[in-house]
Amino acid sequence: MKAKTADKIATGFIYAISGIVALILFAMLSFILVRGVPHLSWHFLTSPARAFEAGGGVGVQLFNSFYLLILAMVISFPIALGAAIYLNEYAKKNYFTAIVRTAIEILSSLPSVVVGLFGFLLFVVQFKLGFSILSGAIALTLFNLPLLTRSIETSLAQIPDLQREAGSALGLSRWETVLHVILPAAVPSIVTGVVLSAGRVFGEAAALIYTAGQSAPALNFGDWNPFNISSPLNPMRPAETLAVHIWKINSEGIMPDVNAVSAGASAVLIIVVLLFNFSARKLGMKLYKKLTSS
Amino acid sequence: MTNPNFEFKPASDFIREDAPERYIYNMDADKHEIAISTHDLQVFYGDNLALSEGDLEFERYKITSLIGASGSGKSTFLRSLNRMNDDVATVNGQIMYRGVDINTKNIDVYEMRRHIGMVFQRPNPFAKSIYDNITFALTQRGNYTKEQLDEIVETSLKQAALWDQVKDELNKSALALSGGQAQRLVIARALALKPDILLLDEPSSALDPISSAQVEDTLIELKNQYTIIIVTHNMQQAARISDYTAFFHLGKVIEYDLTRKIFTRPKVALTNDYISGNFG
Ligand SMILES: Nc1ncnc2c1ncn2[C@@H]1O[C@H](COP(=O)(O)OP(=O)(O)OP(=O)(O)O)[C@@H](O)[C@H]1O
Ligand SMILES: [Mg+2]
């Protein structure tokens, strides 16, 4: 009887807490969406920002965000994958791997503004890369790498050792087992982790303010030669992203419709991040189904 | 004793090219009735001696059971035979297989494990189709035509008594199989490599009685072509299927004899205590 009552109280308590968390999230999201969605239009999503008059959009910033995201992912994914495979499949428990693990842990808890400042001093100033896509992509990589490594490592660790034993009992080398047995089985959860981290990178501002810069020069979307200064692909141009734009206009925006632009941009950011999150789970589940029942 | 239908893969397969000459294999070993034997086998986990005085000979085309209480070293012994313990333990002593000591650096362990296959307690099919589970390890090393692979899949599934149940859904994921079916698929997968010896560590203890009986029947069928060494906690199983039984206690082999003798007239009191359920 007593155990039952305690159980009921505990369960109720847990429900209440989960409810509160869900409620806060829901309130926040609906606040941003209700405020922002009315300002969204094709024009807003595609036209460049205006500094002094009303009617500007976030087209360039949106493009910059995706471009930086893709670059950062292209750089960080292979490194994170390699590191995770090493740590989970090969590393013996010794002094060296303990240091690597601690380093990753520290890196992943580093505030992103610190990563941004480091990127500013080293890449922007020292290496003279300037405020550029390249500096921003490197900073994002530093920010993303430890988290992505750990997420992939967790995905690999979830594959039971039985699978590794099965591989070696069949005379497969460790590498053959990793490549053909462990990785394919881990793909769904790796993909989920990658997409989730993409959402995090997409919304990152602090690491980019002093690396990719706070200006978004107009782009010529007809010119895809990366060596031309107005080409969207040019990696050496400054590139304010959507998240940085929101931060910037809220602190020093002087256009007359600054509130509308800010609300709209926030809504776009949130919608994209939500899309990433939902598609991560969907994609992971779909891949898992495909793998387990072909 | 030898089976005229069985073709041995050359032992030179698993001897590394840089091995000294005494490793070049001795033809007579194939005619020998002993499939594999251990001499002074000792296994340490760190400083902890888990197995000692391991001297056993396993007769070809027989089933040998390893029995004993939990922690007595049965798995440790079995896993040493195909060097599955290399990463976690120090294994001293000789393991003679076809005239060659396979417990040395001169052995290509990956190739050797294709001669000495292993099946574990929990079924561990790959997250691949039934067909790919069987062909995967083969195609990693050799070139086979589709027809050859089809035939190997069919033969090994038939040997493992699974063919009739899955022949129409070979492209289905192996993860959708029941526990008993998965375990028989894993046996088929090991058989596809045409091993010489099959090691099984409690292969049916995670299965329901019906699946367990099916696995037992499978093993009895396989005995004509394979030397089988099986760890089991199930005394009835050991008595039913095995020709020889070794009783392990505290990391030592206490008694090793014909199964019939072990279960009717054991020579050591401890063995009698164990098989009559007084401990363990
Ligand atoms: N990977 C390992 N690391 C350290 N010690 C181990 C390891 N595996 C087994 N041991 C120890 O070695 C001894 C023998 O274990 P083993 O697994 O061989 O017993 P077993 O006879 O197979 O038991 P069970 O019937 O429970 O499977 C035990 O004392 C066990 O704790
Ligand atoms: Mg065991």
Encode burial over A212-236: b for 16+ CB neighbours within 10 A, e otherwise: bbbebeebeeeeeeeeeeebbebbe
Smallest CA–CA distance, residue A20 to chain B, in Å, is 39
Among chain A residues, the shortest Cα distance to B122 is held by A162
Q: Is A289 on the interface with B (CB under 8 A)?
A: no
Q: Is the pLDDT of residue B198 over 70?
A: yes
Q: Ligand 2 centroid vs B70 CA: distance in angstroms?
A: 7
Q: Ligand 2 centroid vs B205 CA: distance in angstroms?
A: 11
Please write the tens of the pLDDT for every residue from A153-201. Answer: 999 999 999 999 999 999 999 999 999 999 988 988 999 899 989 988 9
A14 C-beta neighbours (distance < 10 Å), count: 10
Residue A75's φ and ψ, nearest 5 degrees, are -75, -45
Cα–Cα distance between A265 and A258 in angstroms, integer? 10
Q: Ligand 1 centroid vs B73 CA: distance in angstroms?
A: 6
Q: Is the pLDDT of residue B4 over 50?
A: no
Q: Identify which of B147, B136, B57, B129 has the alpha carbon closest to the alpha carbon of residue B94.
A: B57
Smallest CA–CA distance, residue A179 to chain B, in Å, is 11
Cα–Cα distance between A138 and B114 in angstroms, integer? 47
Please write the tens of the pLDDT for every residue from B231-270. Answer: 999 999 999 999 999 999 999 998 898 998 889 888 888 8
User: Over chain B, what is the mean pLDDT?
Assistant: 86
Q: How far is CA B129 from CA A90, A178, B4, B150, B272, in A?
A: 27, 18, 34, 14, 46
Cα–Cα distance between A37 and A260 in angstroms, integer? 10
Q: Yes or no: is domain A40-292 CATH 1.10.3720.10? A: yes
Binary contact (B140, A184; C-beta < 8 A): no
| Mean local confidence (pLDDT), A234-253 | 85
Among chain A residues, the shortest Cα distance to B88 is held by A92
Q: Is the pLDDT of residue B76 over 70?
A: yes
Rg of chain B in Å (alpha carbons): 19
Please write the tens of the pLDDT for every residue from B203-233. Answer: 988 888 888 888 898 899 888 889 999 999 9
Cα–Cα distance between B83 and A206 in angstroms, integer? 53
Cα–Cα distance between B139 and A66 in angstroms, integer? 41
Q: In what helix (H) or strand (E) does residue A214 lie, and over which residues does it extend? A: none
Binary contact (B118, A169; C-beta < 8 A): yes
Closest Cα to atom 1 of ligand 1? B88
Q: Which ligand 1 atom is nearest residue B88's CA?
A: 1
Smallest CA–CA distance, residue B9 to chain A, in Å, is 15
Q: Is the pLDDT of residue B277 over 90?
A: no
Partners of residue B195 in chain A, C-beta under 8 Å: none
Cα–Cα distance between B33 and B243 in angstroms, integer? 14
Q: Is A160 on the interface with B (CB under 8 A)?
A: yes
Question: What is the model's pLDDT at position B81?
Answer: 94
Please write the tens of the pLDDT for every residue from B122-140. Answer: 999 998 899 999 999 999 8
Closest Cα to atom 8 of ligand 1? B76
Q: Is A158 on the interface with B (CB under 8 A)?
A: no
Question: What is the model's pLDDT at position B9?
Answer: 62
Partners of residue B176 in chain A, C-beta under 8 Å: 292-293
Among chain B residues, the shortest Cα distance to A160 is held by B124
Question: What is the model's pLDDT at position A220?
Answer: 78
Rg of chain A in Å (alpha carbons): 23
Smallest CA–CA distance, residue B129 to chain A, in Å, is 7
Please write the tens of the pLDDT for every residue from B92-113. Answer: 999 998 888 899 888 899 999 9
Closest Cα to atom 29 of ligand 1? B71
Domain boundaries, chain A: 40-292
Please write the tens of the pLDDT for every residue from A18-36. Answer: 999 999 999 999 999 999 8
Please write the tens of the pLDDT for every residue from B130-168. Answer: 999 999 999 988 889 999 999 999 999 998 888 999 989
Question: What is the model's pLDDT at position B24?
Answer: 44
- The number of angstroms, rounded, from the C-alpha of A236 to the middle of its chain's C-alpha atoms is 22
Q: How far is CA B251 from CA B4, B75, B247, B269, in A?
A: 37, 10, 10, 17
Relative to beta strand B197-201, strand B116-119 is parallel
Whether B70 lines ligand 1, by a CB cut-off of 6 Å, is yes
Q: Is B186 on the interface with A (CB under 8 A)?
A: yes
Q: Ligand 1 centroid vs B35 CA: distance in angstroms?
A: 25
| Mean local confidence (pLDDT), B80-94 | 91
Do residues B229 and B197 lie in contact, with contact meaning Cβ atoms separated by under 8 Å?
yes
Q: Identify which of A279, A250, A287, A283 has the alpha carbon closest to the alpha carbon of residue A266.
A: A250
Kindly give the interhelix angle for A112-119 and A133-157, rounded to the nearest 10 degrees: 140
| Mean local confidence (pLDDT), A36-47 | 85
Relative to beta strand B197-201, strand B227-231 is parallel
Counting ligand 1 atoms within 8 A of each CB, the residue from B72, B86, B229, B249 with the most, and so the one to mutate, is B72
Q: Which amino acid is at A245?
A: H
Partners of residue A293 in chain B, C-beta under 8 Å: 172-173, 175-176
The pLDDT confidence band at residue B5, using thresholds 50, 70 and 90, is: very low
State the pTM of this model. 0.83
Residue B68's φ and ψ, nearest 5 degrees, are 150, 165
| CB-closest option in B122, B126, B193 to A181 | B126
Whether B75 lines ligand 1, by a CB cut-off of 6 Å, is yes
Q: Which residues are within 8 A (CB) of A183 and not within 5 positions of it... i.e. 6 or more apart?
A: A85, A156, A190
Partners of residue B173 in chain A, C-beta under 8 Å: 291-294
For the CA of B71, the nearest ligand: 1
**Ligand 2 ion: nearby residues, β-carbon < 5 Å:** B 75
Among chain A residues, the shortest Cα distance to B194 is held by A170
Two structure tokens written together for B232: 């089991």
User: What's the CATH class of domain B23-118+196-275?
Assistant: alpha beta
Most confident of A125-129, B55-59, B241-245: B241-245
Cα–Cα distance between A56 and A39 in angstroms, integer? 11
Binary contact (A294, B172; C-beta < 8 A): yes
What's the distance, Cα to Cα, between the start and end of chain A in Å? 49
Question: What is the model's pLDDT at position B2?
Answer: 43
The residue assigned the tokens 């959507």 is A242
Do residues B217 and B161 lie in contact, with contact meaning Cβ atoms separated by under 8 Å?
yes
Smallest CA–CA distance, residue A290 to chain B, in Å, is 9
Q: Identify which of B111, B127, B112, B195 has the alpha carbon closest to the alpha carbon of residue B160.
A: B195
